[in-house]
Amino acid sequence: MTKFPESVWWIGGVVATAILLFGATRADLTHLPPESPFDNTRSGHAQQWRFLHQASTHVPAGVTFTIRAAEPDTEMNLYVMAVGLLPQATAIPRTYYGQSVADSSPARFVMTFGDVADDLGGAGRTIAVAGGTVTDLGSPQP
Amino acid sequence: MTTVVFFTATLAVPFLFGLPLLRRSSSCGCSPAAGVAIAWAGGTVILTVLLTMLAALGIPWRPWLVTAIALVAGGVAWRLPASRPPREEKMAQPGWPTLVAAALCTVVASAGLVQLAAGAATSADLSFSWGVKAVRFALDRGMDFQWMQLPHLIHLHPNYPPLWPVSLAWGALAAGSLPWTAVPVVTWVYLVATGVIIHWLLRRPLGSRAAAAIVVVWFAVLTGSAMRSFSGGSAEGPLLLFVTVAVTALVVENRHEAPALRWLAAGALAGAVLTKSEGAVSAGLIVAGTAIRDGLWRRREWALDAARLAAPTVAAAGLWAAVKIAHGLPLTDPIRERALVVTFDHIDVILKVCARLLFDGGLWVGWSAPLVATSMTRDFRPLRALPGLFVAGGLPLFAAVYYLHAEGNPLELIVWTFPRLIQPAVSVWIVSLGVICFGDKDGKGNRA
């Protein structure tokens, strides 16, 4: 075996390992153990995940729900995540690929992520969760 | 507890399904670790085919039924006649390279595991599509084809191949729910399994020292790429394994010896087409590269060998196509762009962004170190590695052509998909150039 080409491989392996370790040390592993699969990705997904996870405990199986957010993209993200996080309820999108879903039937539960103008008119019973609220439009106000 | 049961179901049951493969690979002189990895990965393909067929026939998935079938498969493997493995030639090579490689790989594996377990490299696609399908499949004990066709669920890519969501669904079904935070760790298992298998495949023809050097580069570059591209919990892990194992099994073939590992390559290609749509592209490139190489080598049955290599892939693709047709699923992706409607104005963005992403993080090492090393070898004979070189060049080219189809600015699409799409390309580049660099120079199996 020729020595020089082999050395190049070993140097490459050491350099690639060093680059990997450098990246790993820059990772901000502040949320341990993670509550969501995205806790240390520095993306907004973790916050959205935690909101949905908390909100899901107030939404029973078999009901319909929809999600409101200030940005259409965030609303879409929350909707697609909610399909997996609340599989026993039926998610009704308000926004899908940037388009408002005008003909969506009214949902019993409305999850509101972040600050959104209140157009629910004080209807139903609202519970505060981390990152937003959950409103049950099928229940009378307390 | 949910996590423990999930991992047990996801790892142990496929392993039982793959036990016959373990027997087969043992007869090829496979190392125990590589045998276990091959059995698990192959068993995952078998489990996927079984669960997909049950779903297509409307038979609910029952954990006891699946486990019973797995135990029968394990029993059959146990009763298979044991064949004597070929005698390993003793290689008088120093042990330090293996020890150094083991130390580096342990460091890389630890860094990768920490990041994946901490949720620092998770793919958004886990919560957008893969995990969503898995949860629903587990809840329905099968595939609810009506649900997959709902107009506001096209983001789930209902046409996508089933291996990854079915594999996760099986674990979720056994565990009672999907442990979302644990799923990215399965990606780590795939990375380690791939490294173990290719080390075995490379060690016999190249020697343990060369195999160790190649695997260190491969493992560090691909683990780093998986972290940077947020591939945790997505289907990139299994696709990387299947494509890399298929290519490695083919490029270590010797011109003057009958191919002994075609069964492994053929099975891996079937796994690739059942994992992602890009798997079919890779499989096509690999079969084409192998056929051309064998033709140039003047192998007598090159066309028949290529057909045999492609047969399980065609069967797997045919199975999924038949299921889609029978249950009304779209054959193509409803949210992707229309084929052959291209915009050449995108070329500038595609070239600039792809060129930058090709060398992002440690990827530049993965492309350059093998190239520099191979260019310094005295006897440069790339023909042997043609199947891998086809994939290494073909996949980025395929991506570029695909991006020409983008509606509007393709920047976001490229940044989102390209770093993951090129992982199999850089993977087989490393392996293929390793074989060219360290392989026998006279084509007769004698190491230089």
- Strand duo A109-113 + A132-136: pairing: antiparallel
- Asked whether B319 and B53 are in contact (CB, 8 A), the reply is yes
Tell me the mean pLDDT in the region B52-64: 95
Say how many CA atoms lie within 13 Å of B80 toward its Cβ: 19
Q: How many residues does chain A have?
A: 142
What does DSSP assign to residue B143? -
Tell me the mean pLDDT in the region B216-236: 97
Q: Is residue A35 part of a domain?
A: no
Instruction: Take residue B131 and report the two structure tokens written for it.
Output: 């995990």
CB contact under 8 A, A34 and B118: yes
Instruction: Take residue A39 and report the two structure tokens written for it.
Output: 């806790």
Residue ranges of alpha helices (H) inside A1-142 are 3-26, 45-56, 72-85
What does DSSP assign to residue B197? H
Q: Is residue A109 part of a domain?
A: yes
Tell whether A83 and A14 lie within a shared domain.
Answer: no
- Asked whether A82 and A65 are in contact (CB, 8 A), the reply is yes
With bands split at pLDDT 50, 70 and 90, how would you rate the model's confidence at B90? low
Give the CA dihedral B292, B298, B300, B302, nearest 10 degrees. Answer: -10
Quote the domain boundaries for residue A61: 45-136
- Judge whether residue B120 has pLDDT over 60: yes
Chain B environment of A6 (Cβ under 8 Å): 209-210, 213, 373, 438
Rounded CA-CA distance B366/A16 in Å is 8
Model pLDDT, residue A107: 86
Q: Compare all CA atoms of chain B with the CA of A39 and give the residue at the minimum distance.
A: B119
Tell me the mean pLDDT in the region B255-276: 92
Best mutation target, B105, B113, B139, B152, to test chain A (most A CBs within 10 A): B152
- Judge whether residue B41 has pLDDT over 50: yes
Task: Print the SS3 string covering B266-314.
Answer: HHHHHHHHHHCHHHHHHHHHHHHHHHHHHHHCCCCCHHHHHHHHHHHHH
Q: Which H helix or E strand runs over A91?
A: strand A90-91
State ipTM. Answer: 0.91
Residues 6+ apart with CB under 8 A from B448: A1, A2, B378, B379, B440, B441
Tell me the mean pLDDT in the region B356-367: 95
Q: Between B127, B184, B437, which is nearest A81 by CB?
A: B127
Q: Is residue A22 part of a domain?
A: yes
Tell whether A64 and A116 lie within a shared domain.
Answer: yes
Q: Does A27 touch chain B (CB under 8 A)?
A: yes
Interior/surface letters B274-283, b for 16+ CB within 10 angstroms, e for the rest? bbbbbbbbbb
Residue B77: closest CA among B47, B28, B41, B43: B43
Q: Is residue A68 part of a domain?
A: yes
CB contact under 8 A, B214 and A45: no
Tell whether A60 and A11 lie within a shared domain.
Answer: no
Tell whether A9 and A66 lie within a shared domain.
Answer: no
Interior/surface letters B200-221, b for 16+ CB within 10 angstroms, e for the rest? bbbbbbbbbbbbbbbbbbbbbb
Size of interface A-B (CB pairs under 8 A): 178
- Judge whether residue B94 has pLDDT over 70: no
Q: Which H helix or E strand runs over A66?
A: strand A64-69
Model pLDDT, residue B84: 61
3-class DSSP assignment, residue A110: strand
Model pLDDT, residue B446: 43
CB contact under 8 A, A1 and B221: no
Model pLDDT, residue B442: 47
3-class DSSP assignment, residue A69: strand
CB contact under 8 A, A6 and B448: no
- Judge whether residue B89 has pLDDT over 80: no
CB contact under 8 A, B335 and A97: yes
Model pLDDT, residue B86: 60
Number of domains in chain A: 2
Tell whether A60 and A124 lie within a shared domain.
Answer: yes
The per-residue pLDDT for range B134-149, each reduced to its tens digit, is 999 999 999 999 999 9
Q: Is residue A18 part of a domain?
A: yes
Rounded CA-CA distance B411/B409 in Å is 6
Model pLDDT, residue A123: 75
DSSP 3-state helix, strand, coil percentages of chain A (rounded to 5)?
A: 35, 20, 45
Model pLDDT, residue B445: 44
Tell whether A16 and A53 lie within a shared domain.
Answer: no
Tell whether A15 and A63 lie within a shared domain.
Answer: no
Q: Is residue A37 part of a domain?
A: no
Residues 6+ apart with CB under 8 A from B202: B210, B211, B214, B215, B248, B252, B431, B434, B435
CA torsion sign for B263, B264, B266, B267 is: positive
Q: Does A75 touch chain B (CB under 8 A)?
A: no
Chain A environment of B436 (Cβ under 8 Å): none
Residue B323: closest CA among B51, B17, B47: B51
Strand partners, A113: A69, A132
CA torsion sign for B106, B389, B204, B46 is: positive
CB contact under 8 A, B127 and A85: yes
CA angle B55, B57, B60 (to 5 degrees): 50
Amino acid at site B434: G
Tell whether A12 and A54 lie within a shared domain.
Answer: no
Q: Is residue A141 part of a domain?
A: no
Q: Compare all CA atoms of chain A with the CA of B375 and give the residue at the minimum distance.
A: A5
Residues 6+ apart with CB under 8 A from B300: none
Q: Between B152, B370, B376, which is nearest A4 by CB?
A: B376
Instruction: Take residue A73 and report the two structure tokens written for it.
Output: 């993209």
Q: Which H helix or E strand runs over A134?
A: strand A132-136
Tell whether A15 and A72 lie within a shared domain.
Answer: no
Q: Give the distance from residue B218's alpha carbon to the nearest chain A alpha carbon, in angstroms.
A: 8
Residue B220: closest CA among B109, B116, B298, B295: B109
Per-residue tens of pLDDT for chain A, all 142 residues:
568 889 999 999 999 999 999 988 877 777 778 889 998 888 889 999 999 999 999 999 999 999 999 888 899 999 999 999 999 999 999 888 888 886 656 889 999 998 887 776 677 788 999 889 999 987 655 5
Residue with tokens 């890399």: B244
Q: Is residue A124 part of a domain?
A: yes
Rounded CA-CA distance B216/B100 in Å is 9
The per-residue pLDDT for range A104-127, each reduced to its tens digit, is 568 899 999 988 877 766 777 889
**A23-32, B47-56, B82-91, B131-140: the lowest-pLDDT one:** B82-91
Q: Give the distance from residue A1's alpha carbon to the nearest chain B alpha carbon, in angstroms.
A: 6
Q: Compare all CA atoms of chain B with the CA of A79 and give the residue at the minimum distance.
A: B128
Instruction: Take residue B379 and report the two structure tokens written for it.
Output: 């006897």
Chain A environment of B114 (Cβ under 8 Å): 24, 29
The per-residue pLDDT for range B303-333, each reduced to its tens digit, is 999 999 999 999 999 999 999 999 999 888 8
Tell whether A83 and A128 lie within a shared domain.
Answer: yes
The per-residue pLDDT for range B7-33, each reduced to its tens digit, is 999 999 999 999 888 887 777 778 899
3-class DSSP assignment, residue B335: coil
Rounded CA-CA distance B168/B130 in Å is 8
- Of B258 and B191, the one with more pLDDT: B191
Q: Compare all CA atoms of chain A with the CA of B369 and give the residue at the minimum distance.
A: A12
Residue B178, class by beta-carbon neighbours within 10 Å (0-12 exposed, 13-18 middle, 19+ buried)?
Answer: buried
Rounded CA-CA distance B31/B431 in Å is 19
3-class DSSP assignment, residue B59: coil
Best mutation target, B104, B217, B222, B223, to test chain A (most A CBs within 10 A): B217
Tell whether A15 and A68 lie within a shared domain.
Answer: no
CB contact under 8 A, B132 and A41: no
- Judge whether residue B152 has pLDDT over 80: yes
With bands split at pLDDT 50, 70 and 90, how would you rate the model's confidence at B439? confident
Best mutation target, A7, A8, A26, to test chain B (most B CBs within 10 A): A8
Tell whether A86 and A25 lie within a shared domain.
Answer: no
Q: Does A40 touch chain B (CB under 8 A)?
A: yes
Model pLDDT, residue B83: 63
Model pLDDT, residue B87: 57
CB contact under 8 A, B217 and A13: yes
Residues 6+ apart with CB under 8 A from B252: B201, B202, B204, B205, B206, B261, B435, B439
Q: Does A85 touch chain B (CB under 8 A)?
A: yes
